[in-house]
Amino acid sequence: MSETSNVSQYDIDRLIDAPKILLANNVSWRKKSPLAKDPAWLYIYFPVYDKDSLAISHFNAEMRYRPALEQGIPAKMSFVGIYKNTRIFGVDAGTGLAHNNNYWQDTSLQPQPIPPTVTGAHYHIHHEKYKMETGYPIEKWPDNVQNEFTFYLNEFLTRFNFQITGEIPHPYQRPNEDNLL
């Protein structure tokens, strides 16, 4: 998101560690752009609440999904936490993803170790020191994943300490169809 962010590492760490709530009652996916060709990117945008159900100022979550362009290729997905217009953490999944970590040798950055390059599905954490994200591999991949969307959604919710009220539908479940036409 923003390369000129003024988000402190203290705020980043606090927002990652704090219990957070997403209200998913009656949510539905929308096309990112109404003029986009199919298969278009879809999104859901959420305000983020603290454990007392109070909105956390300037903090939102966004989930993006793009169906596979052809049979046998996985869909692309992105689940992100955005604070003061800066993507402070996220989970990315899809074919051909690679993230280069320019500061992988800096042992002051956490968590460690930082790989020089991450390929495939990965998660990000923004680091104030360099005003950029560091990518880390998602290592706990179950043997039998029936629904990649649910797997990555749960990875995002668990890794970044979210609770969810309600249910986030898969982008192509029936309640969303009217919003996608």
pLDDT digits (tens, 9 = 90+) for 42-58: 999 999 999 999 999 99
**pLDDT for the residue 176:** 55
Question: 158 phi and psi, to 5 degrees?
Answer: -75, -50
Q: What tokens does 28 get?
A: 């539905």
Residues in the chain, total: 181
Tens digit of pLDDT for each residue in 102-161? Answer: 888 888 888 888 889 998 889 999 999 888 899 999 877 766 666 788 889 999 999 999
CB 126 within 8 A of CB 89: yes
3-state secondary structure of 134: strand
The pTM of this model reads 0.86
State which amino acid sits at residue 2.
S
Place of tokens 């990000």: 124
H/E run at residue 94: none
**pLDDT for the residue 73:** 80
Strands 42-50 and 30-31, how do they pair?
Answer: antiparallel
Domain boundaries, the chain: 9-180
Q: CA 146, CA 5: separation in Å to the nearest integer? A: 38
